[in-house]
Structure 1
Amino acid sequence: MKIYFDGGCRPNPGTMEVAVVAAGQTTILRDLGQGTSSDAEWLALIHALTIALTLGTDFVLLGDSADIIGKANGAVKCRDAGRVYLKRFRALAGSPARVRYIKRSQNLAGIALARSHVR
């Protein structure tokens, strides 16, 4: 199953929000505290993993933050404040989770998050 995730904040840094699209359902969480766009992307990835684990099926997590995905996969060294998020992600995953990069235009969670701001 493909599970899409995206996080953001307005302004950056600012109030964080995340979106996850899984099994045809979109979940948007707002007002997740103050942070940076990187913090929000980590929170989105962790929330996507939480949803994936509750669905109990084979899954791949898809997002458009190459930096966060590289760190989650161990391809990029995590030297910043993201280490706390990485530790939380790995503890939740148990075994290595499949996390892949996709273009912003293909990220259903990012599209949903952007559309939720159109009034």
Structure 2
Amino acid sequence: MKMMPWLPARFEIDAIILTGYSPAMIDDEYDTLRDWLRMKWIPGDTTADDILRYDDWLALPPEERAARYRHMSEADAEFWLEVETARALYQDPVDRESGITEAKVARYPERYGRSKDSA
């Protein structure tokens, strides 16, 4: 099986799921789960079971999700739309900008190893 660049090794995901997600989860674990699910954020106060449900939901074809929406309460539909929105707004780590712009370098050249004269 070919590993996708956004998908960490399965044992990492299993270890995170077995230990359970908590709001105090360290950033690396949160980012690993977020990248595994390909979501910009993970909605709500989730548990390990929720993470698996999100993955299952997002794996469904759009037609199947649309059919399930018809039989949901409004609150449930809003929640699952938030999950889909988080997926739609996700950017692959490879495509993310570093956050260091030329404007930042010009404003704070010493932070980025440049002299004020060269900026």
Same-fold status (TM-score > 0.5): no
TM-score class normalised by the smaller sequence: under 0.3
TM-score, normalised via structure 1 length: 0.25
TM-score, normalised via structure 2 length: 0.25
Greater helix percent: which structure?
2
Structure number with greater Rg is 2
